[in-house]
Amino acid sequence: MSLYAIKSEMLGLLEAFAEHGKESPEAEAAFREHAEALAAEFDSKADDYAALIRVCETRAAARREESERMAALAKDDEALAERLRSSLMDAMNAVGRTKVQTTRFNLSVRRNGGKVPVIVTDETNIPDEFRIPKVTMSLDKDAIRQRIESGEEVPGVCLGERGFRLDLK
C-alpha cells in the first residue's frame, strides 16, 4: 500500500471514528484494531521512505564529490591546453612562422579582436571623471530581528515562523 493510500485511509478512519466510533464497544474495538494495523503499515512505509531518502542523499553526495573531481580535472586540462597553445605560438613566433598547415589542422598566429585593452599602471593618478561610484545597500536582518524581539516595531517587516524538517538518525 502506498504512503498516500495509508494516509488517506487513516484520515478516513479518524473521520469515521469521530462520527460513528462511539456507538458500540465492538465498533470502537474494530476501529482501534484497524487503526493499529494502519499505524504499523505506516511505520513500515516510513522506514522504507527514510532508507530511500538516505540512499538519495548518499548518492547525491557521491555525485557532487565526483563532479568536483571532474571539474578539477577539466580545469587542469584547460590549463594544460593553454600552456601547450602558448608554447606552440612561442615556437611559431621564434621560427618566423605565422601559418602552419598539417593534415588535421590549419594553425595561424593572429591578433585578438575586440576592444583594445586598457592597462592601469597607477590608479591614484586617474581623474575622478573616470571613476564610477558603486553603492551597495543591504538589510541588516540580525539588527531588525533584535529590534522586533525587544518589542519595537519596524515598518515593513515582521518575523516569520521557523520551518520544519525531517531528521533521519
pTM of the predicted model as reported, rounded to 2 decimal places: 0.60
Q: Which residue did the predictor score with more confidence, 22 or 29?
A: 29
SS (H, E, C) the chain: CCHHHHHHHHHHHHHHHHHHCCCCHHHHHHHHHHHHHHHHHHHHHHHHHHHHHHHHHHHHHHHHHHHHHHHHHHHHHHHHHHHHHHHHHHHHHHCCCCEEECCCCEEECCCCCCCCCCCCCCHHHCCHHHCCCCCCCCCCHHHHHHHHHCCCCCCCCCCCCCCCCCCCC
The pLDDT of residue 142 is 95
Q: Residue 29 pLDDT more than 90? A: no
Cα–Cα distances in angstroms (integers) from residue 166 to residues 1, 46, 84, in the given order = 22, 11, 52
d(CA 40, CA 32): 12
Most confident stretch, 28-32, 34-38, 140-144: 140-144
Mean pLDDT value across the chain? 90
The cell numbers describing 1, all together, are 500500500
Q: Report pLDDT digits (tens) over 42-92.
A: 899 999 999 999 999 999 999 999 999 999 999 999 999 999 999 999 999
Quick one: pLDDT band at residue 156, thresholds 50, 70, 90?
A: very high
Assess whether pLDDT exceeds 80 at residue 167: no
Task: Please say if the pLDDT value at position 17 is more than 90.
Answer: no
Domain residue ranges of the chain, discontinuous segments joined by +: 3-125
CA–CA gap between residue 26 and residue 17 (Å, rounded) = 12
Bin 156: left if φ > 0, else alpha if -120 < ψ < 50, else beta.
left
CB contact set of 154 (below 8 Å; sequence gap of 6+) = 144, 147, 148
Dig out the grid coordinates for 87 from the structure.
608554447
Question: What is the distance between the terminal CA atoms of the chain, rounded to a whole angstrom?
Answer: 25
Q: How confident is the model at residue 21 (pLDDT cuts 50, 70, 90)?
A: low
Q: What are phi and psi of 48, to 5 degrees?
A: -60, -45
